[in-house]
Amino acid sequence: MSPATVALPAARRATIAAVPQRPCAMPLSSSSRRALWYAHGAALLLGGTALFPRLIALPAEQLVSLRTAIAALLLLSLALARRSSWAWLAGAGKRWLLLSGLLLGGHWWAYYEAIQRGGVGLAVVLVYSSPAMTVLLEAWLHRRWPARHSLLAATAVSLGVALVLLPRFGDQQPAPLAAGLALLAALLYALRNLLVRERLAQAPGLGLAGTQFAVVALAGLPSLRGLHLDASTWAWLLLFGSLFTALPHLALLLALQRLPTSTVALVASLEVPYAVLLAWWLLQEPPGTTLLAGGLCILGAAWLASRHAGDDAAQGA
């Protein structure tokens, strides 16, 4: 007790003691801080993925299968070179791996179908209703009410999505099927992230990412029958599968093993403003006022998630 407090009358000291003190925010550990950097870097690279359906003229299922086949070869080769452990595949591990791979493949298929049917802007913003879904699903899974800052961040993401989306309904009349596919992609991605956090958190990042991509690639093999590609298309696919698939998803998996699913999902929402900026720079598609406002809401949600990552990690422990 400080000297100033001792000098107060006894009744006043009792009143102060009765007021509940707000706990201090827990500082991030070095591993959690690295995990946040992984999540932010992954968001930047994943922001560029929305450009590739414009650059590679292939159906969604072929694009997903070829992209993940290249990424799987890279990551599994690296995992074998580093002699990663495969003990996590024993028992139920194989089933959880298969399910997580199918969820990830379904997410990508629905996402690219939404881009091709309704446009990049519609698909990108609706897919990022995923963080709000994740916050609610994680709270339901653990039978607890979401933390106040998690609800605030999820609300900010939803507001950002609305600001970006609503003006486009009047201008472009996007197909309801495209909107439904984008929301399906968001739900599948939220479920996949929760599954990794709850059932595959002990799996090495390289092995888990590589095997998940292999499951997706194998599931899409029937769509590649009779396919012939030129050198330019292969060059784009190699770039897509390495720098824009293998690297960011490995980073996200590593982040999910150190931070709560809701925190990683909300930080990854930065993919939306990154995608907008990349499209402006590379495709000469300047954003409108509502697009910028929505991006700022999502940016604020990611900042809020980063600021409370230490508290969330302690609560989820």
Assess if residue 182 is contained within a domain.
yes
Residue 198 · residue 60 · CB < 8 Å: no
Per mean pLDDT, which range of 158-167, 169-178, 231-240 is the poorest? Answer: 169-178
* pLDDT tens per residue across span 182-237: 889 989 988 998 898 888 888 887 888 899 999 999 999 999 998 999 999 999 99
Assess if residue 259 is contained within a domain.
yes
221 DSSP assignment: G
Assess if residue 263 is contained within a domain.
yes
* pLDDT tens per residue across span 254-266: 787 788 877 787 7
Q: What is the pLDDT of residue 169?
A: 57
In total, how many domains does the chain have? Answer: 1
| C-alpha to C-alpha distances, 117 to 41, 82, 113, 167, nearest whole angstrom | 29, 42, 6, 18
Q: Smallest Cα–Cα separation from 194: which of 72, 295, 316?
A: 316
The tally of CA atoms less than 13 A away on the side-chain side of residue 97 is: 22
Assess if residue 63 is contained within a domain.
yes
Token pair, residue 100, equals 């997580």
* pLDDT tens per residue across span 123-141: 787 787 776 777 778 778 8
String of DSSP letters for 4-53 = HHHTS-HHHHHHHHHSPPPPPPPPPPHHHHHHHHHHHHHHHHHHGGGGHH
* pLDDT tens per residue across span 15-41: 334 444 444 445 667 777 888 888 888
Assess if residue 127 is contained within a domain.
yes
Place 166 in a pLDDT band, splitting at 50, 70 and 90: low
Whole-angstrom distance, CA of residue 97 vs CA of residue 89: 8
Long-range CB pairs of 139-144, under 8 A, 24+ apart, other chains included: 141/194, 141/198, 142/316
Q: What is the pLDDT of residue 311?
A: 56
Assess if residue 17 is contained within a domain.
no
- Domain encompassing residue 196: 29-222+229-316
Whole-angstrom distance, CA of residue 295 vs CA of residue 162: 11
Assess if residue 20 is contained within a domain.
no
More confident residue, 153 or 111: 111
Assess if residue 175 is contained within a domain.
yes
Q: What is the pLDDT of residue 14?
A: 40
